[in-house]
Structure 1
Amino acid sequence: MEQWLNVQTLIWLFPIIFILHDFEEIVMIEKWMKNHTNIIYEKLPRKMANRVIKQFSMSTAQFSVSVLVIFLFVSFSTYMASQYVNHHSLANIHFFTVSIMVFFLHIFTHIGQSILFRSITPGVITSIFIVFPYCIVLFNSLMTNRIISWNTIFASLPYVILIIPIVLIAHWIGKKAV
C-alpha cells in the first residue's frame, strides 16, 4: 500500500476524507435532529440536551456553510503540512497534527452517539469505514517517515481544545449566513 500512498498523497487526502465524512453529516443532520429531539431529551440531562439541540438545530444549508468554514481550516492545515514535508515556506506540521487528532477523536463522538441513542447518527458510517482507517494509515505513515513523533503528538494535544471555539464560530456563521 505504501507504494501508491506516499506521505504527500495521504496528507492531501485529508480534505477529501473530511468532505466525504461531512457530506454524510450534511445529508442527515437536519432530518435526524427533527426525528430524535425527544430521544435526546430522554437520554441527556436537560441542560446538555438544550445545548445539543441549540447547537445542531440548523437547516442543511446552514450546516453546509459551517462545514465550509471548517473545511477552510482543514485545507490550510493540509497545505502547511505539505509545505512542511517539502521544506518550503508556510511549513507547519503542528496545525495539521492538531486537525488530524481532532478528526480522529471526532470518530468516537459519532460511535458514542450511536450507542447512546441506539441509532445510526449523522457521520457514524464514514467514521467507522473511512475516517478511522484513514487516520490509522496516516498517523502510521507520518510516524514511520519521521514527519511527526510522539513528542509532536503530545506537544499538539493541548491545542486540540482550541478547535472547539472554531467549530462553535463555524456553526454561528452557518446560522447567520443562511
Structure 2
Amino acid sequence: MIFNFSIIVWLFPIIFMLHEFEEIIFFKYWINKNKNFLFNKYPKISKRFLSHFENLSTPAFTVAVAEEFILLSIITIASVIFDMYLLWLGIFMGFFIHLFTHLIQWIIIRRYIPAIYTTFISFAYCIFSLNYMVNNNIFQIKDILLWTIIGLAIVFTNLIIAHKLAFWFDKITKK
C-alpha cells in the first residue's frame, strides 16, 4: 500500500475520538478523586474551573464531544469532496495545539490526568502528519501558520459552544 495524504485526513476523526474516549471515560472519576488535591495545590484555578467540571455530567460531556466530532467529520468529508483542505488543516492544528495543553497540565499536576495516554498517541499521529505535509509540500508554511491561527479561533469558539450545549443538555435532562 502506498501511503498518501488521504490516510492522514481520514485518520483524524478516529484519532480525535480515541483521545476523547479517554476523557469521557475518566474525567468524572478523576475530578472526584483529585478535587481536594487540586483545591489545595491550585486554589485560584480550582475555584474557577473545578465547579464547572464537577457539575457537568458524563452524558452532557459526551454531548459536547459528539458536537465536536460531528463538526470535525463534516469538515473532513467536505475537505475530501471539494479537495480543499485548508479548513481541515486549521482544525488539525487546533487539535495539535490542544494536545500541548494536556501535556502542560500533566507536567504541572505531576500525576495522571484524563487524556494524557492518548495525548501521546495523538502527538505521534500529529507530528508524523505535519512532517508528511511539510516534506511533501501539501501546504506552504505561511498557510500552516495562518490556518493554525484560524483553526485555534474556531476550536476555542466551538469549545465554548460545545460546553454551553453540554450544560443545556444537563439542564433539560435533569428536569
Aligned residue for 1:75? 73
Cα distance in 2, alignment partners of residues 169 and 51 from structure 1: 18
- TM-score, L = length of structure 2: 0.87
Matched, 1:105 2:103: no
SS at match of 2:3: coil
Aligned residue for 2:173? none
Deviation at 1:71, TM superposition (A): 0.6
**What is the identity percentage for the equivalent residue pairs of Structure 1 and Structure 2?**
31
Cα distance in 2, alignment partners of residues 152 and 76 from structure 1: 21
Aligned residue for 1:51? 48
Assess if the C-alpha contact under 8 Å between 2:79 and 2:85 holds in 1. yes
Structure 2: 5+ residue stretches without partners: 171-175
Aligned residue for 1:163? 155
Structure 1: 5+ residue stretches without partners: none
Assess if the C-alpha contact under 8 Å between 1:63 and 1:171 holds in 2. yes
Aligned residue for 2:19? 21
1:81-114 per-position Cα deviation (integer Å, ceiling 9, x unaligned): 323xxxx3xx432221111111111222112112
Cα distance in 2, alignment partners of residues 55 and 158 from structure 1: 27
Equivalent pairs, count: 168
| Match 1:148 to one of 125, 139, 153 | 139
Cα distance in 2, alignment partners of residues 173 and 5 from structure 1: 38
Deviation at 1:42, TM superposition (A): 2.7
Task: Give the 3 Å change call, closer, same or farther, for CA 8–172 of structure 1 in structure 2.
Answer: same
Assess if the C-alpha contact under 8 Å between 1:43 and 1:116 holds in 2. no
SS at match of 2:84: coil
Cα distance in 2, alignment partners of residues 55 and 8 from structure 1: 38
SS at match of 2:118: helix
- TM-score, L = length of structure 1: 0.85
Aligned residue for 1:95? 87
Matched, 1:176 2:173: no
Deviation at 1:119, TM superposition (A): 1.3
Task: Give the 3 Å change call, closer, same or farther, for CA 146–53 of structure 1 in structure 2.
Answer: same
Give the partner amino acid of 1:132: F
Runs of 4+ more than 4 Å apart: none
Deviation at 1:76, TM superposition (A): 1.9
